[in-house]
Structure 1
Amino acid sequence: MVCGRAIMKSNAQMIFFFGLLAGSFLTGLASDRFGRKRTMMVSTTIYVLAATVIAWTPSYVVYVLLTFSVGFFAVGNFMPVFVIGMEFVGPPYRRIAGVVSGFEWAAGNIILAGLGYLIRDWKTLQLACALPGVLFQLWWKYFPESPRWLYTRGRLADCESVIRSAAKWNKRELPAGFFNKVFKETPPTKTERIWHLFTNRALRIRTLTIFFCWFAVCLSYYGLALNIGNIGGDMFLNFFLQALMDIPATIITLVLLDRTGRKPLQVASFLIGGVGCLATMFTIMYGKEDYQTVTTVLAMLGKVGASMGFSMVYVYSAELFPTVVRNAGMGSCSAVARVGGMLAPFIADLNRLVGGSFGPALPQLVFGSLTVVGGFLSLLLPETCNRRLPETIQEAIDFGKESDETGEKEVELKTEKEVYENKAFEDSNLNTKL
């Protein structure tokens, strides 16, 4: 895919992100309807098969079709796991459940950089990346369903069974009358769908703001990775450094998430990422090779901000969406983000259309500007730190209102009177710890 056929590479990358887009929306709906666990397992199986078979594709058409399938089911492989992790824990532990996967993502990218350097045959590299996924098939039956999802579906017996299994695993005894307290309210019987997020003005603005933030940070994150060859220096080293930047970004996010709150940290991460991208324009345009080290440092700063922003939108969005549409909401966010991912390879290739010194700097201008706008728009979102997750659309509407903030002031669980030992299932709505 060189010379006159170079556009085929960008088209293949676009089709992959289109698969992510379609999968984000449809697997999100499936997860809310049929369960997080079932959606994840079906997606994982097909994902591994498609990723393996792609190494033997006989033509470009078959290649892009399988690439679409990999993208489609990759979301169904990851998003339900993330949502289960967020729904399984109480407010003090959501930052860990939501951010810790960043280390796994960074490790995967670092390993990929090494494999890409050592294995230059793309088919062998594809198999080396795909075949370890077979191990996922060995543990699926031990993976629990989300107790929150079971509760909202009225499956109280299954919900109780999952919680009892978790308590047994943690070697904790449930307090007497615990489930009477947990199930004191009847689960909502009204069926609520993702489009109900647009029936209220405040909720509509909030949802659209979240969508834009996902679009901007995904465009910036993947755009920086795809634009790695345009900033100069060794491509493999730059990719390795960008992957490495995910680790400090994840650590910073994990340390500051509860200290600063969700909103300030998201705003800061978007602004850092945007300013880092914009600053590289000047060294690319005027510094040339003499300032290659400065360009690389600024690009890495942009990557740190983009990585922090990506971690933040996952946690922040999952806390803002109500349980009844949380996976569909997260899937819709991911779908909007993939529009940014689809545009990223073409924006990264703008230097082929625009000549002179401005050409290589133009992608950085687009990535940086949109990220900065996303940072300022994040100021419109309500704070979620140490507050219980909304369960219904109405609770999501009330979330962030002045009356809601004064009546339920960022619950500090350590001051509660009724405290039990196991913090894993802590929830301020229950006033209890198992």
Structure 2
Amino acid sequence: MAEKETNRGSDLQASLLSSSALQPPSPAQRLAIDDMLRLHAGEFGRWQLRHFVLTTLAWALEAFHTMVMIFADREPAWRCRFAGDCPPEQCGIPAGAWEWVEGSAASTVSEWGLICGQRYKIGLSQSAFFAGCMVGAGIFGHLSDSFLGRKGSLTIVCILNAITGILTSFSPTYWFYTAFRFLNGFGTGGVGLCAFVLATEPIGPSKRGVAGMSTFYFFSTGIAILSGVAYLFRTWRTLFVVTSLPSLLFVLLIIPFISESPRWYLIRRQTSKAMNLMRAIARCNGREISPEVTLKLDDEDDEQNSKESAQKAESGSIIDVLRSRRTRLRLILMICINFMCAVVYYGLTLNVVNLKTNLYLSVTLNSVAEMPAYVITAVLLDRLGRKPLGIGTMLLSGVFCLIGFFIGGAGMMMKTLRMVCGVIGIFGMAAMYNLLFIYTAELFPTVVRNAALGCVTQASQLGAILAPLVVVAGQSLPFAVFGACGIAGALLTCFLPETMNKPLYDTMVGLEGGERNFVR
């Protein structure tokens, strides 16, 4: 009897095992990266914090290479060699009758005599740098979306900056100096956008906005540090060497600890690498991803992934942005807004050299004064939304610049009022400049994000090229130009869509479908 029961139990167990073996395994849960971060890996944990800080240090390097011109191209103090009345300018004084207080090696102006009729060359070399930035932003914006990736592109631009910065210090003539400044700008143009996208793409949707806005703290801190470095190293050649070496140290000591973007892996169809990175993020954040969970692009069907979709994901470029009416309009608007923002921001910033105060202290205070704008925008970003905040900050800047234009008189009170209008103007425009990076990143999908950022960054650099020409027009007229740009930029922002709490799309197809569903 016992033997029969045993045999019956064995038959039942075998039957159950056999039937379970015939059942198909449970299908894997396929999630987009934003859902994977939100549900499993963590939106902003220890991994994202470390990665964000290390990557965004590159923004301080960008500040070094950009703002070094304020100190390298400054006009040092001079004095007459003989007793008697000393005119306010060197123009017309015999060459041997005056001398530079700090010697001819203090700046490019003193070494190559860029005064009087040669003063235009200062603006020419500075425009050459921003022209290089404009070209570099477009090229590296495309390359970072293609085979080089975000990390590879950031590595190359930092190496370029280190080499060209050091070569600049050996310039034998002014024209060599201008050429090297163009090459230095070529690398600098790609630093900010590559670092920004690489730092923010692994962050979850609810934390990405505030994190993106925080990148500008590193830029402002870099300017403040540069002021101290320039105070210690008073010759322009030494200053270029000292400000270029940190880019090389960044490549050797920081980049090996930075990871490639999981979104780039995914659009390149390297799903296993993307999943390995997501699991590493989850482990560092004290979480775990189930083996049944895997990644998918937002244009993929859960049943099958078409070959056409895969080709689209790998070949995304600025041409794809222009083909779509939705993204084409967004790109045109962002190009115009970034151009106007740059004219105002760099135009007001360059006025520092005209204040006739301590240059090192003025630049430091200017960089510190921008930080409250970043704090306010970071706090209000996810409360007001991107669009209302952008309209408000540009209007604030534009209105106060117009007020500065209508303030007349040369008295101390009038000068103080114009200075206050300028400070409020740069406060509002610094906030908008900060916002534009995260806003642009959210308006375009991963496959073309850096290419789009490259285009709008090129527009910013064009505005930076033209800003010095506006500044030399006098004291009042620049305020009118800045005010018009601020108000026009606010009006154009009205035509942009709101991106707050929307997903960060990966492909053009995913953006089109997701936007239609969101509207419904």
Q: Same fold (TM over 0.5)?
A: yes
SS of the equivalent of 1:80 reads helix
* 1:387 partnered with 2:511: no
- Residue among 353, 356, 366 paired with 1:242: 366
Q: Give the conservation status (yes or no) of the 8 Å contact 2:338–2:436.
A: yes
d(CA) in 2 for partners of 1:336, 1:233: 32
Instruction: Kindly provide the CA deviation profile for residues 189-222 of structure 1, in whole angstroms up to 9, marking residues without a partner as x.
Output: 3233212222233432221111111111111111
Paired residue for 1:80?
194
1:207 aligned residue: 331
Measure the CA separation in 2 of the matches of 1:372 and 1:180.
43
Q: What is the Cα deviation at residue 86 of structure 1?
A: 2.3
Q: Which residue of 2 aligns with 1:62?
A: 176
Equivalent of 1:140 in 255, 260, 281: 255
**Per-residue Cα deviation, 1:101-148 (whole angstroms, up to 9, x for no partner):** 111111111222334445432223323322222320222222111111
Matching residue of 2:375: 251
Question: Aligned equivalents of 2:210 and 2:399: distance in 1?
Answer: 27
TM-score, scaled relative to structure 2: 0.72
Whether 1:154 and 2:276 are equivalent positions in the alignment is no
Q: Distance in 1 between matches of 2:327 and 2:190?
A: 26
Structure with more helix by fraction: 1
1:306 is matched with which residue: 429, 433, 436?
429
Choose 48-57 or 186-195, whichever is displaced more: 186-195
1:348, CA displacement in angstroms?
Answer: 1.3
Q: Is the 8 A contact 2:217 2:374 kept in 1?
A: yes
Distance 2:154 2:415 in 1: 43
TM-score (norm 1): 0.86
Unaligned runs of 5+ in 1: 351-358, 408-434
Cα deviation for residue 160 of structure 1 reads 1.5
Match of 1:188 in 2: 310
The Cα shift of 1:308 comes to: 0.5
Distance 1:114 1:303 in 2: 22
Shift of 1:233: 5.3
Q: Any idea what SS the aligned residue of 2:333 has?
A: helix
Give, in angstroms, the shift of residue 311 of structure 1. Answer: 0.8
Partner residue of 2:131? Answer: 18
Q: Quick check: 359-368 or 195-204, which moved more?
A: 195-204
2:271–2:295 contact (8 Å) kept in structure 1: no
SS of 2:168's equivalent in the other structure is: helix
Q: Which amino acid aligns with 2:156?
A: V
- Contact 2:216–2:374, Cα closer than 8 Å, also in 1: yes
Identity fraction in percent? 32
Determine which structure has more spread, i.e. the larger CA radius of gyration: 2
SS at match of 1:179: strand
Q: Deviations over 1:152-180 (max 9, x none)?
A: 11111111122222223323221342216
**1:12-411 equivalences in 2 (<5 Å):** 12-34=125-147, 35-137=149-251, 138-179=253-294, 184=302, 186=305, 188-190=310-312, 191-230=315-354, 235-283=359-407, 285-350=408-473, 359-397=474-512, 403-407=516-520
Whole-Å separation in 2 of the counterparts to 1:198 and 1:21: 19
1:48 offset after TM fit, Å? 1.2
Shift in CA distance, 288/234, structure 1 to aligned 2, threshold 3 Å: farther
Q: Measure, in 2, the Cα distance between the counterparts of 1:14 and 1:104.
A: 24
Partners of 1:231 and 1:295 within 8 A in 2? no
The count of aligned residue pairs is 396
Greater Cα shift, 27-36 or 83-92: 83-92
Letter of the 2:311 partner, please give it.
T
Name the structure 2 match of 1:421.
Answer: none
CA shift for structure 1 position 363: 1.6
Mapped partners of 2:484, 2:365: distance in 1: 23
Instruction: Provide the aligned C-alpha RMSD in A.
Output: 2.1
Q: Is the 8 A contact 1:269 1:305 kept in 2?
A: yes
The answer (yes or no) to whether the contact 2:275–2:295 under 8 Å persists in 1 is no
Change (3 A) 1:29 1:289: same
Deviation at 1:235, TM superposition (A): 4.5
Shift of 1:335: 0.8
